[in-house]
Amino acid sequence: MTQPPGWYPERPGSPVLRWWDGTQWTAHTQQQQQSDASPWEVEVGRQHDPGRVQQQVQQAGVGATPSAGGGTLFTEPVLVVNQKVKLIEMANEYSVFNQGGQQIATVAQVGQSALKKAVRFLSSYDQFMTHKLEVRDLHGQVLLRLTRPAKVFKSRIIVEQGNGHQIGEIVQENMVGKINFAFMSNGQQIGGIRAENWRAWNFMIHDHTGQEVARITKTWEGFAKTMFTTADNYVVQIHRQLQNPMISLVVASGLAIDTALKQDSRGFG
């Protein structure tokens, strides 16, 4: 089985981690931190199957013939976001693929303390805590940082570049009914997200004129995985080439849909 991309010790017991991109070791290293992993988080079915990714694309109604993409997170017309399958989930982790089943990025929830994990396991109050995600390419470089500050009623997501420069925000607009979010950049609304049903499984993304520019569709793994594991999977279709800050906010929406957006609909489900 091919080892998935990730940080691994240079040698057994080494405090230095080196990034494996799925095919070879890279020059990127970092010091090993205390592991965020919990012994309660049991992973299921780790092997990557490009065929399964392509089936998800078909489920979402994308044409069978792949559209040409640029090979990066911001240039592919279709992104498939698969959550790491766990029986018990205390920190969200995702893999991001293009429509051909090739992995192009990873998403990891960071900054989870032992207390936060315990709260997440024992209650639903974690949705009122701050959540942070890092979006990385296959060389380990941080492309986006997504922060959902602690919220009381409505939530927002701060979207930053890897260097910490703020791109914009995704701001919840309502609390009842179909959930809507606004894309804000430099104090102006440049687009937004509209949930297409009260469960908020599928979303339409629009620009400042209301025209649809992208769509997020939840795909289903089958009854057993859906009922007995915590994984959620989404397909993001981007209808045309977009420029920053719009493309970063669209991509951020697809990658944060479960951790930062869909959680807010649980109270209505």
Sorted by where each begins, the domain ranges of the chain are 1-33, 48-268
269's tokens: 């489900």
223's tokens: 């009854």
Q: pLDDT at position 136, please? A: 92
- Provide CATH code, domain 48-268: 2.40.160.200
111's tokens: 């900054």
User: Which of 54-68, 136-150, 192-206, 247-261 is the most confident on average?
Assistant: 136-150
Q: How confident is the model at residue 196 (pLDDT cuts 50, 70, 90)?
A: confident
Alpha carbons 134 and 173: distance in angstroms, whole number: 24
How many percent of the chain have pLDDT more than 70?
68
What are the pLDDT digits (tens) for 11-41? 776 777 888 888 888 877 776 654 444 444 4
Mean local confidence (pLDDT), 229-239:
76
How many percent of the chain have pLDDT more than 90?
30
Q: What single letter denotes the amino acid at residue 86?
A: K
Give the mean pLDDT of the chain. 76
Paired residues of 90 in beta bridges? none
Q: How many CA atoms lie within 13 A of 105 on its CB side?
A: 28
Determine if the peptide bond prior to 245 is cis (ω within 30°). Answer: yes
What are the pLDDT digits (tens) for 140-158? 899 999 998 877 678 889 9
